Each structure stands twice: as C-alpha cells, then as structure tokens.
Chain A
C-alpha cells in the first residue's frame, strides 16, 4: 500500500516559468480519432465496469440464495446462537461473536506492535537497514494463510497449551477470560495468529505514513531538545494519526475475512463463552467447515446468509477505511 503524495507543484516536463510550446494542428479530438482512442476508452470503461457489476451481482445472488433463511428466521437469525443442523435451527450470533472477538484480539495486539516496528524502522535505524526490515515484513504478508494455519496448529497451539495458557490462567486467577482447560486452541490462539497475519499490512502502511512527516517538523523538535521518544510521540504519531487509523482499518478488513488460518486453530464450536481458551468459530470458519455437506436447503441458505453478513461487515469496514484514507490524504496535502 503506497500513499500517494499529491503535493508536487511542478509536474515533470513543464518546468515552471517556461510555457509549453503550442502543438500545431493536433487538437485532442483529432488525436483521439487517429489512434482509435475511443475504442480504447470503451474497452477500459467496460473493464472498469466489471468490478461494480460483480459486487452488485454478488450482493443480489447472496441475498437471493439466503431468502429461505431470511424468511424463516427473520431478525432472530442474528440474535440467536443456536446452530442445530438436525433440528434445522440456525442462528448467526456465535459466529458473529467469534469473528468480532478474534478480530478485536488481533487488533489490540497488532496495532501497537506495528506502530512500534514502523517507528523503529523509520526513526531509529539507518534507512538502508530500515528498508531491509521493511521488505522482510512484507515477505511475511506473502505467506499463504494455510501455512499460518498449519504452523498455528502444529507448533503454536502446543506452545500455547504448555506455556502461555497455564501462565495466563495463573496470573489472572478468577478472571473469566482465562478459564477452562488449556487446550492450546480457541479464540485467543486464533486472535494471536490473526495478529501475526495483519501485522505486515499495518506496519507497511504505518511506516509510509511516518515517512510523510516533514523533516522540518522533526528537526525543529530535536532542535528544541526533545528526546527521540518525545519526537515519536508528540510529532510523528500525532502528525500521522489519521494514516494510522487508516492502516488499522486495512488490517481489520483482512482479519475479519481470514478463513483457513482461523479454521485450524479456533476450535470450531458454535458456542459463546467468556473464556478465550474455549473453542469458538468465526463466520468464515463456519463456511469453510460446513459448506460441503450442507445438503438441506435451509442449512445451505443459512450458511449463505452468514456469508452475506460477513460481506456486509467487510464492505462496511472497507468503505470506512477508504473514506478515512481519503480524508487523510487531503489533510496531509494541505499541511505541507
């Protein structure tokens, strides 16, 4: 994710003060006709239209396919945590709960960590080393999610069960979040894996944002005797706050829809529990697990409605993040 920096007042090719020489006999319309530009325009327009059409089509077909479930359960679908394929009683609450809580855990961990990494990368080390760290973090983003899932199940979950979960249960005592047998899988593990997966996205955007902070501002702060920490806290972070929120939204969008890695470690049970050690499920993991064998029409339709809910949540988050990023770009342009 590259942040566009729209503040160059002198576009290449027209140095200020020197007017561009007038082009003879080439009005724009003539050029267009000659080069078949209108055809080109049409083709690109058609290609560009494919995307909104696809999204609209997705919405329409998902809504259409979930109609039986929407009619049968109504609003109760979102409020009920029942999930009983034998008795044809379905509700989305446990899946929505698992999706939101695992994402929340991921955000709580990944956002501060990414900011620390980005600050270190931009402020504290030589640019060349910073770029090296930057590209290794981006490599982390290239790892397929199933690899995270397998690593999570075979390496990370036993580690959680043997070390992290008993430790947490010990130090928190009777706090309801860390109760139950330490199985190594469950909401907490899923949240941690998700945190690891969205870390590179947030770090990469955040470091771009931090690089946008005008050097003059930082230099003046240093000149007034600020420590590095003070500069980071009072100048860099404050200047980039909008960009940071945008970055967090990007990570959020990805965490909400993550499927394979979560399915491996979340424990896949349709229950709502305050303890983060117990098995739960997310919308995406429920879909991944149950789609193949859902032969009953109402079952299938309920799964599709779950998908629709996820689509609505994800698109909502994306729209919010786009709006935020747009606002931030406008602001930073003015700020310079």
Chain B
C-alpha cells in the first residue's frame, strides 16, 4: 500500500513537472464542426513550435458560455455573435475555417448530384408541404429522373448544432413561410420528420430510410458517398457542393462591411456560389489579462491561416480567402490589447 502511494505521488509529481516545463498550453472550447481540422492543426503546431493546443469540442453554445466564464483562452462557434453582443462582453470574433451544409437524399436510382432542387422546393419539403418524391414541383425540376411515389422522410439534427443553424438560416432567407413558422436556430421546432444525433445520426437515418432527405456537413457527405443534391443559387444556376463553390460564396461576401465579422455565408451572390455555406468563428477577449497566452493564441491562428490550408483541404474543409485573412489580422492589430492598452499583435 505504502509503495503504491509513493508511486502515485511520484507519478503525479512527474506529470505536474512535465506539464509546467514543456512550453505553453492554449485552451479553447466550442464548436464540434471544425474540431477535426483544429485537432490536426494543433498536432502539427505542437510538433513545430512546442505550443500545445487543448481544444474541447463541446458545442458552439458551450464555447460561448466558456469564453464568457473566462475558463478558456478562446471560444469557437459556428454561429457568429452579433456586433452588439460582442461589444457587451468585450469580445472580438473572426472566421477561422469554412464548410458547407449539403442536403442529401436517399431515393432508389438517384445518385450523387442527380437530384436538382430549388430553394422554394427544399423549404417546402422541410416544411412538410411536399410529401412525396413524385410531387409535380420536384418532377418539374428533374425532367430526366424517374421519381417513385414514395413518402418523403425528412431527417434533421436532434441535437443543437451549428450545422442546423446554417441550414435553417438559409431556409429562413429563402422562404417567407419558414421565416414565419420556424425561424433560425441551433435547434428549432421542426414541422416535419425525425431527428438523428450528430452528422452520423442524420446520415445513418437517411441511408436506412428509403425516401429520406437530410442535411449534413460537406466533409461528411463526401466521405460517406451520400447522394447530395444540386441547388439553385441566387444567380439562378444549379451548383454542386465543392470547395470551389464554397470559396466563391466566401469571396463574394462583403466582409469589409460586416461589423464584428458578423457574416452568414448563406444565399450569397455569385454564379458559382454554393448557397448553404458557413464559417466557423473564434472568440477572444479584446483586453487580454495574460498577454503571453493571448499572443500565443493569435500566433497559432496566424500560423493556421498561413500554413493550415493544405491540412484543412485534405479534411474537406475550406480555408478562409486571403483577402479576408488580411482584414482579420488588421482587426487584431487595432482591437486586441493587453491591460495597459498596448496592442498585442504587431
């Protein structure tokens, strides 16, 4: 017993010493959507610079709560905070990585990229107004497809999620009825369908239920070879979800006139823009009480902007366009200060 206790204390001691002795640790928490890419960046960055990033993917809501409670050095959220909220809590936010939300279907004989949908039809399906796949509205958009007389089963997220926020924000923009009845949220009161937990839950339901339609993150749809749809964008063109069409949406967005980088990339202009694109945001305090940690946080994200694109694209995420990065770093210089008012980022 004594020996056991001694060993225990020794181990604890060694662990504490190792922790204190090895570089610096940045703590962050928030959105689950960008977690894979943040984890990869952190792994690479620790190898290169010896700075450890500890990111807990507890969800966007959790990330906002944690940064407000000041238990973490940065928070991450898929839904941007409005400029007033940022002002109130003394935070600034910036976009870190992008992705797209992709409607996926499961109809016998309809492969990826075969089904064409317009915003109105997509909204009516999720409102439960279009109930079968051979509805005239769907047939009109897809003259070349043989559509079965099969019930449509809508599959949505059961858990609160940034993916849902982006998707409902899009439906909110394109459908008056959706705006009046449902609105935008990480969780909403769904008029129709069943809920799956996480992207994997939604995709499992869609794959199991013949006649299902759901929405998942792009990376998820791609890796699981789900049958994504072509969507009509604001320019009236049918586009497929690809890294190029997401970047087009981001490039066409007017970032310079978005206070606090409050920018929702859904329904953006541009012939090649995928209409349900979203960015994931980072939240940090304007006044950094621990300037060393604050600097390390910014240095990490700076490195990620400059050198993280390859890793992001390999994981099917979309890096932030360079012109937006310049805007972000200009904001860092202007707004983030230590307690004495000296700018942290030069």
Same complex for A and B? Answer yes
B327 sits at the interface (CB 8 A): no
Establish whether residues A293 and B161, one from each chain, have CB atoms under 8 Å apart when the complex forms: yes
Chain A contacts for B58, CB-based, 8 A? 292
**Bound CA span A256–B151, Å:** 32
A158 sits at the interface (CB 8 A): yes
A184 sits at the interface (CB 8 A): yes
Chain A contacts for B119, CB-based, 8 A? none
**Bound CA span A84–B183, Å:** 10
Chain B contacts for A281, CB-based, 8 A? 158, 195
Chain B contacts for A293, CB-based, 8 A? 59-62, 159-161, 186-187
**Bound CA span A158–B208, Å:** 6
Query: How far apart are B206's CB and chain A's nearest CB, in angstroms?
Result: 11
**Bound CA span A184–B153, Å:** 12
Establish whether residues B208 and A184, one from each chain, have CB atoms under 8 Å apart when the complex forms: yes
Establish whether residues B195 and A84, one from each chain, have CB atoms under 8 Å apart when the complex forms: no
A14 sits at the interface (CB 8 A): no
Establish whether residues B189 and A86, one from each chain, have CB atoms under 8 Å apart when the complex forms: yes
Establish whether residues A269 and B194, one from each chain, have CB atoms under 8 Å apart when the complex forms: yes
**Bound CA span A83–B190, Å:** 9
Establish whether residues A184 and B209, one from each chain, have CB atoms under 8 Å apart when the complex forms: yes
| Contact residues of A between 65 and 84, Cβ < 8 Å to B | 82-84
A84-B209 in contact given A181-B153, A289-B158, A290-B159 (Cβ < 8 Å): no
Complex: chain B residue closest to A180, CB-CB: B151
**Bound CA span A86–B181, Å:** 10
Majority SS of interface residues in chain A? loop
A267-B64 in contact given A86-B183, A153-B204 (Cβ < 8 Å): no
Establish whether residues B61 and A295, one from each chain, have CB atoms under 8 Å apart when the complex forms: yes
Majority SS of interface residues in chain B? loop
B113 sits at the interface (CB 8 A): no
A85 sits at the interface (CB 8 A): yes
- We find that the number of chain A residues with CB closer than 8 angstroms to chain B is 33
A161 sits at the interface (CB 8 A): yes
Chain B contacts for A157, CB-based, 8 A? 208
Which residue of B65, B159, B161 is within 8 Å of A295 (Cβ)? B65
Which residue of B189, B195, B204 is within 8 Å of A279 (Cβ)? B195
Chain B contacts for A289, CB-based, 8 A? 158-160, 195, 197
B-side interface size class: 20 to 34
Establish whether residues B183 and A87, one from each chain, have CB atoms under 8 Å apart when the complex forms: yes
Complex: chain A residue closest to B182, CB-CB: A86
Establish whether residues B160 and A86, one from each chain, have CB atoms under 8 Å apart when the complex forms: no
**Bound CA span A154–B197, Å:** 14
**Bound CA span A300–B62, Å:** 11
A268 sits at the interface (CB 8 A): yes
A292-B61 in contact given A86-B189, A279-B194 (Cβ < 8 Å): yes
| Contact residues of A between 154 and 184, Cβ < 8 Å to B | 154, 157-158, 161, 181, 183-184
**Bound CA span A214–B166, Å:** 67
B112 sits at the interface (CB 8 A): no
**Bound CA span A269–B184, Å:** 17
Chain A contacts for B182, CB-based, 8 A? 86
Establish whether residues A270 and B189, one from each chain, have CB atoms under 8 Å apart when the complex forms: yes
What string of 1s and 0s marks CB contacts (under 8 Å) between B320-334 and chain A? 000000000000000
Query: How far apart are B291's CB and chain A's nearest CB, in angstroms?
Result: 29
A264 sits at the interface (CB 8 A): yes
A294 sits at the interface (CB 8 A): yes
Complex: chain A residue closest to B185, CB-CB: A86
Complex: chain A residue closest to B162, CB-CB: A293
What string of 1s and 0s marks CB contacts (under 8 Å) between B40-67 and chain A? 0000000000000000001111101100
**Bound CA span A161–B204, Å:** 14
B99 sits at the interface (CB 8 A): no
Could you list 14 examples of A-B contacts with CB < 8 Å? A83-B189, A84-B189, A85-B185, A86-B183, A157-B208, A158-B208, A181-B209, A185-B205, A289-B158, A290-B158, A290-B160, A293-B62, A294-B160, A295-B62
Chain B residues in contact with chain A, CB under 8 A?
A: 58-62, 64-65, 151, 153, 158-161, 182-190, 193-197, 201, 204-205, 208-209, 211
The list of the 6 closest CB pairs from A to B, nearest first, reads A293-B160, A268-B195, A295-B61, A268-B158, A279-B194, A84-B189
